[in-house]
Amino acid sequence: MKFFIDTADVAAIAELNDLGMVDGVTTNPSIILKSGRDILEVTKEICGIVSGPVSAEVVAMKADDMIKEGRKLAEIAPNITVKVPLTWDGLRACKVLSGEGRMVNVTLCFSANQALIAAKAGATFISPFVGRMDDINLDGMELIADIRQIYDNYGFDTQILAASIRTVNHVTQSALVGADVITAPPAVIKALANHPLTDAGLAQFEKDWAKTGQKIL
């Protein structure tokens, strides 16, 4: 499974990238707002750190304007993935941009039917929002599993990018049902290393080692 980092925090991206934990990055207008930086500037900096896909989202609502914005964003770096919403205009933009050889991430997916038509429109990635499904008492993982089955049934190349990942359990479950990619905040990625039994075991080892009176260095 690939790990994308859902942030525009350059320092956090660089830290995780040095550990080999970053296969790509996703951003959106809310993340850009939180960064407090210019979208073109911060996205270019991220692309200089990460060699994998970096999603930058259009903000227009009409297809022709999305296409223009997408082309502008794609000029930032070769690894830019243009992010478009799952609307008919977004799908029109996806078809054109993917036809030009650009990577396209179709976002805000909440149904298997939406994922199906995004794949037919040439999406590189489909982004089902797991956490937001859970918020309204729907099963986000069931959606991932349904998309996986449909894509496998018909040989679609579109990668399932599980988004709105909020917990380490979301990561585990996404991997089990066959998501190709997860995108999560840095804190969730770091939390994957945590376990109370690891902490307890380490504490016991330190206690016992102190009793030996020995040193390695």
Nearest residue to 105 via CA among 162, 173, 41: 162
CA neighbor of 142 nearest in space, from 172, 168, 112: 112
Residue type, 43: T
In this structure, are residues 126 and 118 in contact, taking their beta carbons and an 8 Å threshold? Answer: yes
| Residues annotated catalytic, as ranges | 83
What is the three-class DSSP state of 104?
strand
Q: What is the CA radius of gyration of the chain?
A: 20
The answer to whether 127 touches 109, Cβ cutoff 8 Å, is yes
- In angstroms, the CA 109 to CA 111 distance is 6
The span from the CA of 97 to the CA of 71, in Å, is 8
The residues, any chain, with a CB within 8 Å of residue 118's CB and separated by 6 or more, are 86, 91, 94, 106, 109, 126, 158
